[in-house]
């Protein structure tokens, strides 16, 4: 089976940097993805790490360490519009289905 | 028009009624998924389909059934709805031929179901 753990809530101020961690336990592993969901909206894809290391996309970066079964999403220069829920997701290499963590609600304060 | 369209967007029904949520996509993706979202529980996989002839149970399939009528259409049915099936339901698609794109899900706008 698979499980992903991430903090339920994170609060930060505008302009700051925040890191959202995700640890996973899977029977197989084929990469870690990150999704953003604004209240009531559809989740949207942010980033994917198939290999160890850092992936950067603008203000957002994602990191993966397979040996530690750990990854994180780093958000820089926080803006009010970054207030949302962030989900990590892992795909097993058996069924190929994507399983999500419970989500981290990020609140950005002025 | 949206790439992934879900209907209805909102539905209120009574216990014991049969409900169908429909999903259609114009992305040409081969894989389709149904997820359920409850507050604090994230997105839980109900069923998924990798092609028209392939249907698989997810984490929480009890009480649900699905039909993949065509590559572009994937419907979710609740044969006899119960109140604890009140939730926000999302359909999603992905493309297995896209390399890392297989990890990129495109979600519909969601169907909010309330069972009284």
Chain segment A20-50, per-residue pLDDT in tens: 999 998 777 788 999 999 987 999 999 999 8
Interval B59-69: pLDDT, tens: 899 999 999 99
Contacts of A42 in chain B (CB under 8 A): 90, 107-110
Residue B1 is predicted with a pLDDT of 64
Interval A50-64: pLDDT, tens: 889 999 989 999 999
Flag residues of chain B having pLDDT under 50.
Answer: none
Partner residue opposite A98 with nearest CB, options B56, B100, B105: B105
C-alpha B75/C-alpha B69 separation (Å) is 8
**Residues sharing a CB contact under 8 Å with residue B75, sequence separation 6 or more, in sequence order:** B20, B21, B22, B23, B66, B67, B69
Residues of A at the B interface, defined by Cβ within 8 angstroms: 8, 30-31, 33, 35, 40-45, 48, 50, 87, 89, 91, 95-103
Tell me the DSSP string of A39-81: TTS--EEEEEESSSEEEEETTEEEEEETTTTEEEEEE-S--GG
């Amino acid at each position: 089976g698979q499980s992903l753990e991430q903090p339920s809530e994170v609060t930060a101020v505008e302009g700051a940097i925040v890191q959202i961690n995700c640890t996973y336990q899977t029977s197989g592993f084929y990469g870690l993805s990150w999704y953003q969901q604004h209240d009531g909206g559809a989740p949207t894809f942010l980033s994917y790490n198939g290999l160890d290391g850092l992936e950067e996309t603008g203000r957002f970066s994602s990191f993966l360490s397979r040996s530690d079964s750990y990854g994180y999403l780093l958000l820089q220069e926080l803006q009010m519009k970054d207030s949302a829920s962030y989900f990590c997701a892992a795909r097993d290499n058996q069924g190929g289905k994507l399983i999500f963590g419970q989500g981290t609600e990020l609140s950005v304060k002025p | 028009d949206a790439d992934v369209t879900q209907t209805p967007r909102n539905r209120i029904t009574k216990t014991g009624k049969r409900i169908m949520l429909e999903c259609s996509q114009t992305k040409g993706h081969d894989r389709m998924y149904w997820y359920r979202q409850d507050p604090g529980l994230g997105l839980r996989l109900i069923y998924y389909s990798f092609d028209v002839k392939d249907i698989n149970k997810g984490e929480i399939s009890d009480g649900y059934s699905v039909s993949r009528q065509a590559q572009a259409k994937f419907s979710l049915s609740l044969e006899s709805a119960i109140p604890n099936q009140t939730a926000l339901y999302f359909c999603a698609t992905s493309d297995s031929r896209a390399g890392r794109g297989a990890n990129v899900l495109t979600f519909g706008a969601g169907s909010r179901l309330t069972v009284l």
